[in-house]
Amino acid sequence: METSKETVKDVVSGNDQHDGHQAPGEHDGHGHVGHVHGAIAPRRPTRDQLQHIQGWGADLDRKDRPGVPMERTPPRFINAPEHDPVPQQQHVEVLVSTERPGRTPLFGSAQPPSGLSGMIRRGAFKLSENDVRHWLLLILADRVNVVEGIGQDLAQGRIPNVLGEMGIKAELKHNPAGLAKKVAIGAAVIGAAVYLMKRRGDDEDDERARYRYHRDRYR
C-alpha cells in the first residue's frame, strides 16, 4: 500500500506541533505522549512515580550523603601538574605488551615473573593481545603459579590449607549440592581423559604388535 507524500507530510507536521503545555516525551494527562520528529521520545519518570522503589532517593537530602560536609559545590579545583609525573624506578622485570611502546609511569612490581610460570608469561607477552594464545598462556601461567606456591610453602616447612584457600570447606557447608555436582563433573572429565589416553595406548600397542607380526612373518 503506497502512502502519498501529502499524508506523510501531515503526520510529521502533526507530530512536531505542541500545544505549549506538553513537553516532548511527556504525558499530557490524557494518556498521550509527546512526539519528536515522528518518533516517541523517551519519558523520564518523576520522583512521585519512583517512590514505590524501596530505598530510592535515600541520598536526596544532603544531610544523608556520606560525602557531606566534605562534598563541595562547586567541587574543589585541583591544579593539574605542568609536567608528566616522575616515572617509577624499575627494580624487577616488568612484562610489557607488544602494543605498548614502553612502560607506564606506574606499574606493579610485587610479583615479578619467576620460575616456570614466569617463562610462560614471557612467552605470552611476545604475542599480541588480540591473539587468543596470549590470554590462554596467561591463564595457564596462573595455574602453574598456584602449584609453584604450594611447592614453596612445603619447602619452607608450611603446610598450605588448599581446601580452605579453594573455598571447598565453605562450599561444603553452605552449598553441598553444588560442590557434589562440581566433583561429579570433574570426576567425569578426568575419567574420560584417562579412558581416552588408555585407549590410545592400547591402540598403539596393537599397532606395534601387528607390525612385529608382519615383520617376522615375511622375514
The grid coordinates of residue 143 equal 595455574
Q: Which pLDDT value is given to residue 67?
A: 72
Tell me, what's the pLDDT at 142?
93
Helix (H, G, I), strand (E, B) or coil at 33: strand
Bridge partners (DSSP) listed for residue 35? 40
In sequence order, which residues have a C-beta less than 8 Å from that of residue 177 and are 6 or more positions away?
Answer: none
pLDDT at 17: 43
Q: Any idea of the CA torsion for 24, 27, 32, 35, to the nearest 10 degrees?
A: 10
Q: Please count the other Cβ atoms lying within 10 Å of the Cβ belonging to residue 60.
A: 9
Omega before 66 within 30 of 0, i.e. cis: no
* Per-residue confidence (pLDDT) for residue 124, from 0 to 100: 93
Q: Is 128 left (phi over 0), alpha (psi -120 to 50) or beta?
A: beta
Q: Which three cell numbers stand for residue 4?
A: 502519498
Q: What is the pLDDT of residue 33?
A: 46
CA distances from 123 to 12, 38, 68 (A): 61, 57, 50
Q: pLDDT tens, 16-60?
A: 444 444 444 444 444 444 444 444 556 778 888 888 888 788 878
pTM of the model: 0.46
Residues of the chain with pLDDT under 50: 1-39
